[in-house]
Amino acid sequence: MPLFVPWVWAIMAEIALCFPQRRAEENSYTARERVWADLKKDPLFWVCLAFMLMLIIPFFNVGLCPNCDAYLIAEGHSAEPPIKLMPFCVNRWQHFNVVLWFGPILTMVLAIKHSLNKAGKIILLKLIVWNGVALAVLGFVQQLFEAPGPLWLNLKIAPDSYFSTFGYPNMAGDLFTSLFCMAMALWRSQVSACNHELASSKIRRVARHKLFWLKHHDLIAATFAFFAAMSTLSRASIILVSLAATLLAIHAGISFLFKMKKADRVRSIAWIAGVLLLIAFVVTNFLPRNMQREIDTLSTDAVLTRVTGKGQYHARVATEIWKDYPLFGCGGWGYKHFCVSKMTEEELKHIQMVGGINVHNDYLQFLAEHGSVGLLLLVTVVVLMIIPIGQVWKQMANEARFDKHKKLPSPASFFVCPAGTVSLLLAAVCTCIHSFGDCAMRSPAVLSVFFVCIGCADAFLPYLKAESEKEEK
């Protein structure tokens, strides 16, 4: 991972600064000039830069670890960093690991926004989704042949404690949940595009079976991603991918049925009822034993206990560390260095040996390691990415209210937003929910896909002219 990520960083920076996609009547030089000019005016660029600066300062402001450097502290050395009110860390290499997550990811965010057009964003989504299908197939093959570990490495771990290339199945589960939503976004977009071309007589000569494949091939990827998320045996992923599938199926059902004639609608409802009965029969009679075991442990109390951290020391300890370093935290992977000193004697007797270096609540861990300033900057990045999507969505909803010819299901203000955008935003929401009860975002793959989903959500939105442009006309 540390050797690979700098190359990703370089590729993303190259795409963003040297080879952006050209707009109409642009050459490579004017496209680069436009991107550089837009970056300087973009608040997102400056927030990303401030966040990276906050991560770089700790390399020059290193404190002592209360456990690893206990002998130095006992000799009289100060455990505090040289500059107390600035960001710091206690282990440069481990902090560098976090820098290697966010550097390429934030560069990717800027590259997606300024260097890719809508078609380029859809291509990026397809590359990620079908790469995810390959990972899912790998996971299924490993389970089938009872591999001793990821990529057949002889790690001597339990078969249900890893999936595909992931050593922690909960991270894999969240990734495949996001990939499922991404595949559904591509499917709905492709169906809409084919229907539009059919209406305009562009593809009427295409054979029926080819048209069916053209419309629905992305459902293959969605199916692989769905069953991969279930096969990870992550309870959070089982809940979230099932909920996402239900919501997206309802959205698709309402959208498709609304456009049908009454007779077609009745036949479609009968087919849907039959499929639901078949799914219920398969689930109740053929569900794998290990998956049934995980589902049987699900309860409201179990979910609330996991989300609130009740019954474990991690949430309390992380909060204590944040109180000690409220502004900038204790640096990347600092929680594992400071947690022992905050634990009671009783907690030390039952210390979590596997997975104990994480809080299993991404928000609390981020607060403990990067403080209020770090969390505020990262939330600002997400908000700045979402605002343009919200503005276009709002404008579409306002126009739909006064367009008598545009018939939409109720509520029209919701269904006016393209299904692809809704699906990608749902993927991001699922990751945010999962992060309350686990450490999903401690995986660079999950973190990358989270930002890709938000960054590419506008790929399915139409280009709408600003109100000022309309008034000029």
pLDDT (0 to 100) of residue 310: 61
- Look up tokens 């690893």; give the residue: 68
Q: Is the pLDDT of residue 178 over 90?
A: yes
- Assign 273 a pLDDT band (cuts: 50, 70, 90): confident
> What are the start-end ranges of the E strands in 101-255?
none
Please, are residues 159 and 141 in contact by the beta-carbon 8 Å criterion?
Answer: no
- Assign 50 a pLDDT band (cuts: 50, 70, 90): very high
pLDDT (0 to 100) of residue 365: 95
CA 137/CA 131 separation, integer angstroms: 10
Mean pLDDT, rounded, for 343-354: 82
Q: Is the pLDDT of residue 439 over 60?
A: yes
Mean pLDDT, rounded, for 355-378: 93
pLDDT tens by residue, 191-206: 888 877 666 665 556 6
CA 98/CA 101 separation, integer angstroms: 5
- Assign 213 a pLDDT band (cuts: 50, 70, 90): confident
Mean pLDDT, rounded, for 120-138: 93
Mean pLDDT, rounded, for 369-382: 97
CA 319/CA 327 separation, integer angstroms: 13
CA 23/CA 378 separation, integer angstroms: 30
pLDDT (0 to 100) of residue 4: 41
Query: Which DSSP state fits 409?
Result: P
pLDDT (0 to 100) of residue 200: 61
Q: How many other C-beta atoms can be found within 10 angstroms of the C-beta atom of residue 7?
A: 10
Q: Is the pLDDT of residue 291 over 80?
A: no
Q: Is the pLDDT of residue 244 over 90?
A: yes
200, 203, 135, 204: which is closest to 173 by C-alpha? 135
- Look up tokens 């042949």; give the residue: 145
pLDDT tens by residue, 78-121: 888 999 889 999 999 999 999 989 998 999 999 999 998 999 99
Comparing 2-16, 82-96, 395-409, 451-465, the range with the smallest average pLDDT is 2-16
In terms of average pLDDT, the best of 31-35, 202-206, 455-459 is 455-459
- Assign 473 a pLDDT band (cuts: 50, 70, 90): very low
- Assign 122 a pLDDT band (cuts: 50, 70, 90): very high
Query: Which DSSP state fits 116?
Result: -
Q: Is the pLDDT of residue 279 over 80?
A: no
Mean pLDDT, rounded, for 340-345: 88
Residue 278 burial by Cβ neighbours in a 10 Å radius (0-12, 13-18, 19+):
exposed
- Assign 410 a pLDDT band (cuts: 50, 70, 90): confident
- Assign 469 a pLDDT band (cuts: 50, 70, 90): very low
pLDDT (0 to 100) of residue 56: 96
Return the amino acid letter for 19.
Answer: F
Q: What is the DSSP string of 344-397?
A: -HHHHHT---SSTTS-S-HHHHHHHHHHHHHHHHHHHHHHHHHHHHHHHHHHHH
Q: Which token pair is 275?
A: 């499929």
CA 296/CA 233 separation, integer angstroms: 12
Q: What distance lies between CA 334 and its chain's CA centroid?
A: 24
Q: Which token pair is 334?
A: 């600092």
Percent of the chain with pLDDT over 90: 49
pLDDT (0 to 100) of residue 203: 57
Q: Is the pLDDT of residue 214 over 70?
A: yes
As beta bridge partners, residue 163 has 166
Q: Which token pair is 167?
A: 């050593």
Query: For residue 216, how many C-alpha atoms fall within 13 Å in the half-sphere facing its CB?
Result: 7
pLDDT (0 to 100) of residue 472: 42
CA 148/CA 135 separation, integer angstroms: 17
pLDDT tens by residue, 1-28: 333 445 566 676 777 777 888 887 888 8
Q: Which token pair is 262?
A: 């009454």
Please, are residues 246 and 283 in contact by the beta-carbon 8 Å criterion?
Answer: no
Comparing 4-13, 159-168, 169-178, the range with the smallest average pLDDT is 4-13
CA 20/CA 470 separation, integer angstroms: 29
As beta bridge partners, residue 89 has 62
CA 416/CA 407 separation, integer angstroms: 10
In terms of average pLDDT, the best of 113-117, 210-214, 428-432, 469-473 is 428-432
- Write the CA distances from 383 to 51, 232, 272, 378, integer angstroms: 14, 31, 38, 9
Mean pLDDT, rounded, for 375-398: 94
Mean pLDDT, rounded, for 442-454: 94
Whether the bond between 82 and the residue before it is cis, its omega within 30 degrees of 0, is no
- Assign 399 a pLDDT band (cuts: 50, 70, 90): confident
- Look up tokens 């990529």; give the residue: 151
Query: For residue 331, how many C-alpha atoms fall within 13 Å in the half-sphere facing its CB?
Result: 30
Q: In the predicted model, what is the mean pLDDT of the chain?
A: 85
Mention every residue, 6+ apart, whose C-beta is less than 8 A from residue 408: 258, 400, 415, 416
Q: Which token pair is 240?
A: 């979230």
pLDDT (0 to 100) of residue 7: 59
Phi, psi of 102 (to 5 degrees): -80, -30
Please, are residues 206 and 153 in contact by the beta-carbon 8 Å criterion?
Answer: no
Mention every residue, 6+ apart, whose C-beta is less than 8 A from residue 1: 97, 100, 444
pLDDT (0 to 100) of residue 206: 65
pLDDT (0 to 100) of residue 5: 47
Phi, psi of 62 (to 5 degrees): -105, 130
Q: How many other C-beta atoms can be found within 10 angstroms of the C-beta atom of residue 404?
A: 6
CA 174/CA 136 separation, integer angstroms: 13
